[in-house]
A and B are shown apart, each in its own frame.
Chain A
Amino acid sequence: MSSTDLLDDLTRREYPHGFVTSIEDDQAPPGLNEDIVRLISKKKNEPEFLLEWRLKAFRHWLTMEEPVWWPKVSYPRIDYQSIIYYSAPKPKKQLKSLDEVDPELLRTFEKLGIPLQEQQRLSNVAVDAVFDSVSVATTFKDKLKEMGIIFGSFSEAVREHPELIQQYLGSVVPYTDNYFAALNSAVFSDGSFCYIPPGVRCPMELSTYFRINAANTGQFERTLLIAEPGSYVSYLEGCTAPMRDENQLHAAVVELVALGNAHIKYSTVQNWYPGDKDGKGGIYNFVTKRGKCAGKGSRISWTQVETGSAITWKYPSCILQGDDSVGEFYSVAVTANRQQADTGTKMIHIGKNTKSTIISKGISAGRGQNTYRGAVKVLKGADGARNYSQCDSLLMGDRCGAHTFPYLDVRNPTATIEHEASTSKIGEDQLFYCRQRGLSEEDAVSMIVNGFCKEVLRELPMEFAVEAQKLLGLSLEGSVG
Chain B
Amino acid sequence: MLKIENLHATVDGKQILRGIDLEVGAGEVHAIMGPNGSGKSTLAAVLAGREGYEVTAGRALYQGQDLLALAPEDRARQGVFLAFQYPVEIPGVGNAYFMRAALNALRKARGEEEVDAIDFLELIKSKMQLLEMNQALLSRSVNEGFSGGEKKRNEVLQMLVLEPKLAILDETDSGLDIDALRIVARGVNALRGPDRATLMVTHYQRLLDYVVPDRVHVLAGGKIVRSGGRELALELEKTGYGQLAGTGAR
- The residues of A with any CB-CB pair to B shorter than 8 Å are 1-3, 427-430, 432-441, 443, 447-448, 450-455
In the complex the two chains form, is B102's CB within 8 Å of A439's CB? yes
CA distance A435 to B77 in the complex (A): 10
Contacts of A3 in B (CB 8 A): 51
**Chain B residue, CB-CB nearest to A439:** B105
Minimum CB–CB distance from B73 to chain A (whole Å) comes to 4
In the complex the two chains form, is A451's CB within 8 Å of B92's CB? yes
A interface majority secondary structure: helix
Please, how many residues of chain B have a CB less than 8 angstroms from a CB on the other chain? 31
CA distance A455 to B101 in the complex (A): 21
Q: Known: A428-B51, A432-B51, A451-B141. Contact between A439 and B92, CB under 8 A?
A: no
In the complex the two chains form, is A450's CB within 8 Å of B88's CB? no
Contacts A/B (CB < 8 Å), 20 sampled: A428-B51, A429-B88, A435-B76, A436-B48, A436-B49, A436-B81, A437-B76, A437-B98, A438-B73, A438-B105, A438-B109, A439-B101, A439-B102, A447-B90, A447-B93, A450-B92, A450-B93, A451-B91, A453-B92, A454-B92
In the complex the two chains form, is B72's CB within 8 Å of A435's CB? yes
Q: Which of B94-114 contact A (CB under 8 A)?
A: 98-99, 101-102, 105-106, 109
Contacts of A454 in B (CB 8 A): 92
In the complex the two chains form, is B162's CB within 8 Å of A430's CB? no
CA distance A438 to B106 in the complex (A): 6
**Chain A residue, CB-CB nearest to B79:** A438
The yes or no answer to B123 lying at the interface (CB within 8 A) is no
Write the B71-87 contact mask toward A (1 if CB under 8 angstroms, else 0). Answer: 11101110001101001
In the complex the two chains form, is A439's CB within 8 Å of B73's CB? yes
The yes or no answer to B50 lying at the interface (CB within 8 A) is yes
CA distance A447 to B84 in the complex (A): 20
For the complex with contacts A436-B75, A438-B162, A443-B105, 4 further pairs of A-B residues with Cβ separation under 8 Å are A430-B90, A432-B88, A436-B73, A441-B73
CA distance A323 to B90 in the complex (A): 40
The 7 tightest CB contacts between A and B, nearest first, are A451-B92, A451-B93, A437-B102, A454-B92, A438-B76, A438-B105, A433-B88
The yes or no answer to B158 lying at the interface (CB within 8 A) is yes
CA distance A443 to B90 in the complex (A): 14
In the complex the two chains form, is A448's CB within 8 Å of B93's CB? yes
**Chain A residue, CB-CB nearest to B91:** A451
Contact for B92 among A1, A2, A452, CB less than 8 A? A452
Minimum CB–CB distance from A243 to chain B (whole Å) comes to 32
Contacts of B71 in A (CB 8 A): 1, 435
Contact for A433 among B52, B90, B99, B106, CB less than 8 A? B90
Contacts of A427 in B (CB 8 A): 88
Contacts of A436 in B (CB 8 A): 48-49, 72-73, 75-76, 81-82, 84
CA distance A23 to B190 in the complex (A): 68
CA distance A407 to B216 in the complex (A): 61
**Chain B residue, CB-CB nearest to A361:** B92
Minimum CB–CB distance from B93 to chain A (whole Å) comes to 4
**Chain B residue, CB-CB nearest to A441:** B73
CA distance A434 to B162 in the complex (A): 13
Contacts of B93 in A (CB 8 A): 447-448, 450-451
**Chain B residue, CB-CB nearest to A454:** B92
Q: Known: A439-B102, A448-B93. Contact between A430 and B88, CB under 8 A?
A: yes
Minimum CB–CB distance from A330 to chain B (whole Å) comes to 14
Contacts of A432 in B (CB 8 A): 50-51, 72, 88
CA distance A275 to B49 in the complex (A): 36
CA distance A3 to B51 in the complex (A): 10
In the complex the two chains form, is B90's CB within 8 Å of A448's CB? yes
Write the B26-57 contact mask toward A (1 if CB under 8 angstroms, else 0). Answer: 00000000000000000000001111100000
Contacts of B99 in A (CB 8 A): 437
CA distance A454 to B91 in the complex (A): 9
In the complex the two chains form, is A438's CB within 8 Å of B77's CB? yes
Contacts of A455 in B (CB 8 A): 92
CA distance A161 to B71 in the complex (A): 63
Q: Known: A448-B93, A453-B92. Contact between A438 and B102, CB under 8 A?
A: yes
**Chain A residue, CB-CB nearest to B51:** A428
In the complex the two chains form, is B101's CB within 8 Å of A447's CB? yes
CA distance A457 to B125 in the complex (A): 29
Contacts of B73 in A (CB 8 A): 435-436, 438-441
In the complex the two chains form, is B76's CB within 8 Å of A452's CB? no
Minimum CB–CB distance from B197 to chain A (whole Å) comes to 17
**Chain B residue, CB-CB nearest to A448:** B90
CA distance A448 to B92 in the complex (A): 8
Minimum CB–CB distance from B20 to chain A (whole Å) comes to 20
Contacts of A453 in B (CB 8 A): 92
In the complex the two chains form, is B84's CB within 8 Å of A433's CB? yes
Contacts of B158 in A (CB 8 A): 437
CA distance A463 to B226 in the complex (A): 62
CA distance A447 to B89 in the complex (A): 13
**Chain A residue, CB-CB nearest to B89:** A430
